[in-house]
Chains A and B, each alone.
Chain A
Amino acid sequence: DAKTTQPTSMDCAEGRAANLPCNHSTISGNEYVYWYRQIHSQGPQYIIHGLKNNETNEMASLIITEDRKSSTLILPHATLRDTAVYYCIVRDNFGNEKLTFGTGTRLTIIP
């Protein structure tokens, strides 16, 4: 699986949009971009994933650049409960069972 690079930590004011970047310059054509988050002492939570097109669900939006070498996860109106470590993962979905979690971005929502 392609390696991802994320900032170690970020702060965001409560109520503002949180934009979390991820670089995956070695991504291959059949690899998807997945985002998970892990709130302290809990299991990771699936947020969203995409291949080429931008995606949106009830939790977040995922913006993938046209060359697919980077992406941004957007939490449109951050709340204190969004404080967590956010993981960007790239993987192919063909017989690949492994989700390789890096160290992620520690997002702190400031009241």
Chain B
Amino acid sequence: SQTIHQWPATLVQPVGSPLSLECTVEGTSNPNLYWYRQAAGRGLQLLFYSVGIGQISSEVPQNLSASRPQDRQFILSSKKLLLSDSGFYLCAWREDRTYEQYFGPGTRLTVT
């Protein structure tokens, strides 16, 4: 069966510090991968998605970036965090032949 991992689970970072969140998927190959952010009390916002290694599409302009160095690895990064980057970050995957997305446990980021 497929599983999706995210780490760390929680993170507290000062403004201006760098960020690296990692997501890995097991049990599937060539998945589509997604990064979402959920601000407190709000719905999910799609940040990036990837249909293959090195292929990244950005949905919203921001100071975040994403990379996919391996088939089942998706990384969310920032060079300098802003207070507004605080939120719950979720990674998701879907198989190419289906359309349901399956979410990881999330990373709760607090920028202070």
**A residues engaging B (CB < 8 A)?**
32, 34, 41-46, 49, 87, 93, 97-104
Contacts and interface: CB of A to CB of B under 8 A. Distances in A.
Contacts of A102: 43
| Interface residues of B, dominant DSSP | strand
Interface stretch (B12-20, B62-70, B72-80, B102-110): B102-110
Contact of A43 (B32, B43, B45, B105): B105
B103 A97 contact: no
B53 interface: no
B46 A43 contact: no
Interface of B: 32, 34, 42-46, 49, 51, 57, 59, 88, 90, 92, 99-106, 108
Given A97-B57, A103-B42, A43 B103 contact: yes
Contacts of B42: 103
Nearest to B94: A97
A97 B22 CA distance: 20
B54 to A, nearest CB: 17
A46 B100 CA distance: 7
Given A101-B43, A102-B43, A49 B104 contact: no
Contact of B106 (A32, A34, A42): A42
B59 to A, nearest CB: 7
Contact of B103 (A41, A45, A93): A45
